[in-house]
Amino acid sequence: MTLPQTAFVQAQTPEPLAPKKTTFWSQLKASLAMFSNPKSATGLIILGVFVLVAIFAPLIAPYDPEAQNLKETLQPPSFAHLLGTTHIGQDVFSQLVYGTRGVLVVGFLATIMATVVAIVVGVTAGYLRGWKSESLSALSNVFLVIPGLPLMIIVASQFQDPPLALIAAVLGLTGWAWGARVLRAQTMSLRNRDFIQAARANGEPLHRVILVEMLPNLLAIIASSFVGTMTAAVLGLTTLAFIGVIPVSNLNWGTILFWAQQNNAFPDYWWWYVPAGLCIALLGVSLALINFGIDEYVNPRLRSAGERARAMKRKGMNLNAAVTQVRTTSTTTASTPAASAAASPESNTV
């Protein structure tokens, strides 16, 4: 007994799949996919090494960074002192390890403060309309032109030993304005999207619209702003330490360079200043790689170009070749008699 044709067609028709529900965690996972880029992954690995060094500094450093040994002054690198000693016998490697903690603590504190203020001001200014939005935008413009270095010098001169939290607060206070402007512009483009209008039409409260609907779509911009602000904070801290604004009791890489410059270590005693300069450069490279990876994820053109380049590398093609390469495979050419006759030179002889 055969089934009717209509029943057969109905049996073969697949059931439509239910649309996948979009949640906050799914949007967060999609936004964090920016760190799967090879550039971002490399930058995160380098930054992670510095973080581990800062956390386990007492276990890694072989000596007390402030301990003096006048019998071993200005010693070159050796097994006893991996990076040599200073003019009063202090171990440079131990100072470098403990200085990593000072740099990262101030960098992260300043960046977190600046990012929180940028999110609050930028997203609020982009979501609101009228004079409220313009007032917050004007506030961002004012802080955008405030010079951070002179302000830090003035604040530090009022304290005999300014704490790290105060230094981070000043650096964060002068570093949030640019991120707030970028977030304001992006929020203004999001507030008229269909999903935002639907959430408002459903009576969703303001905090839920911002936290659940907007922020997951702004994570890439926030991450890029975070990395850029941290780069500026680290460079600002080392600059302030190098010129002597920050007291020498706050050990960091800039302090090492300050003492090396004060005691005429350039250029003979290279082990005193080269490692600190390399650490500053390497940390900047890691943050730049993270920023490049995020930028490639956010920008569709860069993302497609990067995916195309990686696909060509997997196929063994040269990206710098002047002529476009064609990857050939061994296939059977004699598929038809005409093709066989054209391929065989003996077929044309009589």
Structure token pair of residue 60: 């890694």
pLDDT of residue 146: 81
> What pLDDT score does 347 carry?
43
The conformation of residue 91, written as its DSSP 8-state character, comes to B
Contacts within 8 Å (CB) and 24+ apart, 41-47: 41/293, 42/286, 42/289, 43/285, 43/286, 43/287, 43/288, 43/289, 43/290, 43/291, 43/292, 43/293, 44/286, 44/290, 45/286, 46/282, 46/283, 46/285, 46/286, 46/289, 47/283, 47/286, 47/287, 47/290
How far is residue 178's CA from residue 119's CA, in Å, rounded to a whole number? 11
Q: What is the pLDDT of residue 8?
A: 46
Q: Is the dihedral of CA 234, 105, 57, 240 positive or negative?
A: positive
- The pLDDT score that the predictor gives to residue 334 is 44
Domains by residue range for the chain, with CATH? 50-68+81-313 (1.10.3720.10)
Residue 336's pLDDT is what?
47
**CA separation for the pair 49, 285 (Å, rounded):** 13
Tracing tokens 């010098």 back to the chain, one arrives at 153
Mean pLDDT per 10-residue interval, the chain, length 350 residues: 49 50 60 72 91 92 86 87 88 91 90 92 86 86 82 77 81 87 88 82 80 82 87 87 77 88 85 91 91 74 59 65 52 46 45
pLDDT at residue number 172: 87
The reported pLDDT for the residue numbered 333 is 45
Q: What is the pLDDT of residue 167?
A: 83
Going by the DSSP 8-state scheme, the letter that residue 85 receives in this structure is B
Residue 49's pLDDT is 93
The Cα–Cα gap between 229 and 37 comes to 21
